[in-house]
């Protein structure tokens, strides 16, 4: 059993919640960070069999002070943060319930999208890396998206943010972290069945990913087995990218 600690943003739902549950089963201390306090409380209840190894923290990834607070709380309780998985995110137009042409959607919607999807990950990287440097070890996983490779007229800030995470941010954090034994890798999924609607997105293999398939990849990359993987991005998209970019 591991006594390592994993912190997951967006931890009350979807990929992060399943990953957190799998890490708990493997004996990790698990810190689930999310803006949705009600959902976090339900998750805490549903994971009660893991007792004190589950810590839930209500925090907004778009606020740097929340990232610092979450880091400090996690370190106070568990002493280290060995793995950070930045999952909080989503398309701004979907989350703000807006549609239409790019130029007709309020600019604030795009600020929201960049704050959540790009700055949110950088804020947590920044806060948590300071701790990982002290430990002289750590792994940071970003969640990109096929949308970051394809672009999307319906979610420009989401596409831009994911693209940045998949390339500039992940590479830069890997470069900054290398002297301190800190790796950074991005996992960019195609459609994942965290929502039923994702089943409608086309892939070369004709289906969306089961959430467990993405979690398995994250856990492999973050583990010692993935020690040689650094500063790069894995597209796990059922072949969607080659389907549309022949
Ligand atoms: N599901 C997919 O098909 C898919 C595909 C590609 C990429 N991704 C990416 O994977 C990640 C996880 O996706 P998912 O489907 O599991 O997401 P999800 O919608 O199930 O969960 C996202 C969580 O983030 C939380 N959150 C939202 N805003 C927040 C904030 N400001 N601060 C803290 N928490 C906040 C939400 O409350 C929610 O619990 C996202 O970054 C997403 O863009 C998902």
Q: What is the set of domains in the chain, with CATH numbers?
A: 5-244 (3.40.50.720)
In this structure, the dihedral spanned by the alpha carbons of residues 60, 141, 151 and 120, taken in order and rounded to 10 degrees, is: 20
Residue 244's pLDDT is 84
Is 5 close to ligand 1, i.e. is its CB under 6 Å away? no
Rounded CA separation 20/6 (Å): 8
Which ligand 1 atom sits nearest the alpha carbon of residue 11? 39
Which ligand 1 atom sits nearest the alpha carbon of residue 189? 6
Cα of 130 from ligand 1 centre, angstroms: 24
Q: Are the C-beta atoms of residues 33 and 59 closer than 8 Å to each other?
A: yes
Cα of 179 from ligand 1 centre, angstroms: 31
Is 20 close to ligand 1, i.e. is its CB under 6 Å away? no
Cα of 87 from ligand 1 centre, angstroms: 6
Which ligand 1 atom sits nearest the alpha carbon of residue 146? 6
Which residues in the chain land under pLDDT 70?
1-2
pTM as predicted:
0.98
Cα of 152 from ligand 1 centre, angstroms: 17
Is 89 close to ligand 1, i.e. is its CB under 6 Å away? yes
Nearest CA to 235 among 178, 173, 191, 174? 191
Residue 2's pLDDT is 58
Q: What is the pLDDT of residues 79-102, one digit of tens each?
A: 999 999 999 999 999 999 999 999
Residue 225's pLDDT is 98
Write out the E strands in 39-78: 54-58
Residue 56's pLDDT is 98
């Amino acid at each position: 059993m591991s006594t390592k600690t994993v912190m997951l943003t967006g931890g009350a739902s979807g990929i992060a919640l399943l990953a957190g549950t799998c890490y708990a089963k493997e004996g990790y201390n698990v810190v689930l960070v999310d803006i949705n306090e009600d959902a976090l409380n339900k998750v805490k209840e549903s994971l009660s069999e893991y007792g004190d190894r589950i810590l839930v923290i209500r925090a907004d990834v778009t606020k740097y002070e929340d990232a610092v607070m979450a880091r400090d709380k996690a370190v106070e309780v568990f002493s280290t943060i060995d793995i950070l998985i930045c999952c909080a995110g989503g398309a701004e137009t979907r989350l703000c319930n807006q549609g239409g042409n790019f130029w007709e959607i309020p600019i604030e919607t795009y600020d929201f999208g960049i704050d959540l999807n790009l700055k949110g990950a950088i804020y947590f990287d920044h806060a948590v890396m300071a701790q990982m440097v002290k430990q002289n070890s750590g792994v940071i996983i970003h969640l990109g998206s096929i949308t970051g490779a394809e672009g999307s007229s319906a979610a420009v800030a989401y596409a831009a943010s994911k693209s940045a995470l998949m390339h500039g941010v992940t590479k830069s954090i890997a470069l900054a972290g290398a002297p301190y034994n800190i790796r950074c890798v991005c996992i960019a999924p195609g459609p994942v069945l965290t929502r039923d609607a994702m089943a409608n997105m086309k892939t070369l293999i004709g289906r969306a990913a089961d959430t467990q398939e993405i979690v398995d990849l994250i856990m492999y990359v973050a583990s010692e087995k993935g020690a040689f993987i650094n500063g790069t991005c894995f597209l796990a998209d059922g072949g969607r990218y080659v389907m549309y970019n022949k």
